Structures are given as structure tokens and as C-alpha cells.
Amino acid sequence: MLITMTLYVIYLSMKYLGNARPSCTVLSPFSTSLSQTGGQLDHTGPVMLEKNLALPNLFPKKARRFTHGGLVALCLFIYFCVTRTSHEFEDKSYSTQLSNIGEQFPRKIWQIWKVNPLEFDERDIGVARSWISKNPGYRYEVLTDQNDLDYVEANFGPLGLNRPDIVDTYRSLTAPIIKADLLRYLVLYMEGGVYADIDVEALRPVERFIPSSHDESEIDMVIGVEIDEPHFRDHPILGPKSQSFCQWTFMCKPRQPVMMRLVENILHWLNQLSIKQGRPISELQLDFDDVITGTGPSAFTGAILSEMSRATGKDISWSTFHDIPESKVVGGFLVLTVEAFAAGQGHSDSGTHNSRTALVKHHYHASAWPDRHPRFYHPVFGEVERCNWNVDCVRKWDEEASAFAALPPEEQERQIATFQAIGEALKNIETP
């Protein structure tokens, strides 16, 4: 339409300023259709106008040529200006649409379990329903032991990102907790959304994950503090676990570099451990601390702190998040207080689940994996983790363990035998 109008204006300019014929027929697409048929208007015929024109010579011949050429140039100038403006508007509109992509977190909730939701135990069904009922506008999906490998192959195989190292490593894994950790990172890298362990209950809608004081478009990932006990950072057993973000629940936009760097860190760790132990990945021997530092919260935390440092150009350490009274954004990561995802722990000033800022409740009923990957267990004094980060309890455990280590081997064996005998006696008393 715009081209037609412009050409029509040019034609009229040529007609009225040039040597026009006494009469001409003009085809006008902008007029009501009419013809001269007995003085009647015919609205069905072609648009033909008969006009007899007698044009005065208003300008000298040379002037008319100049004027004619100038008007043609003017019309062409107007046409190109208008069309350019139109294209610029369209491009700007398209650019705006593109800029909106990724401003929101995907409305998806992901969980990982042995079986599909139709086969959940009653306890798991109740927890799963909490996510669905509080987030009716979200897609809910569970990856299982039956479809997890298909998902990895489809998204990271030749028809996906073509990462055979990821596919081969995942195919080789036999430890369920290692597979579960790796899978959650792979899924949220590809899909984004919310991840929650199968034993994590939703207390508040996902929309509460981002406080109103923050702009969702400026946030790439939402995480929460889990353990904030930095005074234990030099402890030989508790140290690596004393400062960590929670990875049983977090939210992420798709294709975040930190997720892929975390995955690649895990692949490197598994390969190095395979070399160290002299056995394939499928046969690796892993204790509790191996899991925590290799794929669990410590690995998760280390990758995030490194990404924060990379994004901000500053050295971001745990001190940035120690005892934070409210959420804060660092390098695109929204860090929530410990109460958000890890309330009710009895340490780290985690508060209770009755708080308005508590977003989820971790029931810990799916945490049987430590049975396959036991913690360090002192033959007399047991696990230091039983102190649950109590300073006095940990100090006593350390003192007793140090005193025991200083004893002669014969005395150590005697104390171990005595401790085991007492334990067997207590079992017999408890058994009806």
C-alpha cells in the first residue's frame, strides 16, 4: 500500500507539471468504484476515472523540468524515509521481544526419584502434592530410574549438545546419590526452573522465592544458605561442610554457565578419582565426605562462589554471606537467608518452619544414601556430626579423640573392646 501511494503521488506530479495530454484515464485504487452508465454510480466495476484536463503553463519549460525532477526526488525521499522508519520500528519491536526471553524463570518444578509419581509411597505423594497445589501454573515433572538415561542421551547426545563425555560418564555411574546430584545440574542447565529433593515440602508458592524488593529479570539463580558455621572451617572433618549453599532446593534459568562448569568439575573429579583408586568410575569407593565435596553441597557452593567472583571481578568468599539478615544479590545470584530453604536444622541460626520466610521443609526421609557412603566413625566416640555443630560437643569430641590417639595401641584396643561389649549389652536389653 505504501509503495502504491508513493508511485501515485509521483504520477500526479509528472502529470500536472509536465506536458499533459488533453485527456487521460487514471486507474485509482483509492476511489470508490464508478463508471459513467447513464448517470448511475456502479460500485462493482473497475476504478476508472475519465478526466479532460487543460493545464496552464504556469512555469517556463526549464523550470517545469526542474520542478518535475525535484518533486520526483522529494517523493522518493519521503518513500525511503517512511519505509526505513517502518523497518526500524519492526526491528525494534522484534528486538524488544528477544530481550524479554529469559527475563522470567521457567514455570517448571523438577524432582528426581526411583519411580514415577503414580507409584509414589504415601509420604512422597503428600510432599509432591504440596508443590502442585501451591503452584497450579507450573509444570511438574519427575525423572526416574527408568527414564533418566533417556533424558541425558536425548539432550547431551549427538542430537542434543553432543557431549559424549557427559553421556558416557552418566551411563557409567552406579552410585544413586552421585547420579541424582549430577542429573539435577544437567536438567536445570537445559530446562531451568525449580529443583527440589523428593523429601522437600513446599510451604510457600515459588513466587515467594524472589522478594518483591528484587527484579526477577536481573536474577539468574536463586539459592539459600544451608550451613553457616565458619568457625569450624579449619576442622579436619567438619571444615569442608561448614559453609555451604543448599542444593536440595534451588531455582535457575536455563543455560547458566555455572551449571555446566559444575558438571565439568564433577567429570574431572570422577576421572581423577578413578586414576587415584585405579578402578573405573562404576567401581569407585566413596565415603560421605567424598559425596559432599565431589557432587554435593560443597561442590555446588564452590562452583557458585567461583562464578560470583568471575561475574563481579571480585574475590567473593563465604564471609559475604555469613549471618546475612536478609537476601542479597551477587553477580546475578539471589542468596536467601538460611531460614528460606533450611529452617529447623538446630544450627546456623536457621529458625523454624513457622516463620513467614521459611519457604520449604526438608523431611530427610530420603537421605538413606549415607548408609552406602558412611561418615568418619570413631570406634569409641562415634560421628562428630552427631554434635550437630554444637561448639561444646565438638570440642569434647576433639579432645577425647586426640587423647585416644595418644594412647598405646594395646590400650586403644582394650577401650574399643570395652565400648563394643557395652554396645552389645545395650542391644540385648532393648530387644524384647
Q: How many residues does the chain have?
A: 432
Section 350-357 average pLDDT: 96
Q: Residue 26 — φ and ψ, nearest 5°?
A: -110, 130
**What's the confidence (pLDDT) of residue 237?**
97
Residues forming beta bridges with residue 243, ordered by sequence position = 228
Q: How far, rounded to the nearest angstrom, does the alpha carbon of residue 143 sit from its chain's CA centroid?
A: 17
Q: Give the residue from 133, 134, 132 showing the smallest Cα distance to 142.
A: 132
**Could you tell me which residue, 25 or 401, shows the higher pLDDT?**
401
Angle of helix 164-172 versus helix 148-156 axis, rounded to 10? 160
Whether the Cβ atoms of residue 373 and residue 291 lie closer than 8 Å to each other: yes
Assigned C-alpha cell, 50: 475519465
**Could you tell me which residue, 363 or 100, shows the higher pLDDT?**
363
Q: What is the mean pLDDT of the chain?
A: 83
Section 257-283 average pLDDT: 98
**What's the confidence (pLDDT) of residue 74?**
53
pLDDT in tens, 388-423: 999 999 999 999 999 999 999 999 999 999 999 988
Within 10 angstroms of residue 180's Cβ, the number of other Cβ atoms is 22
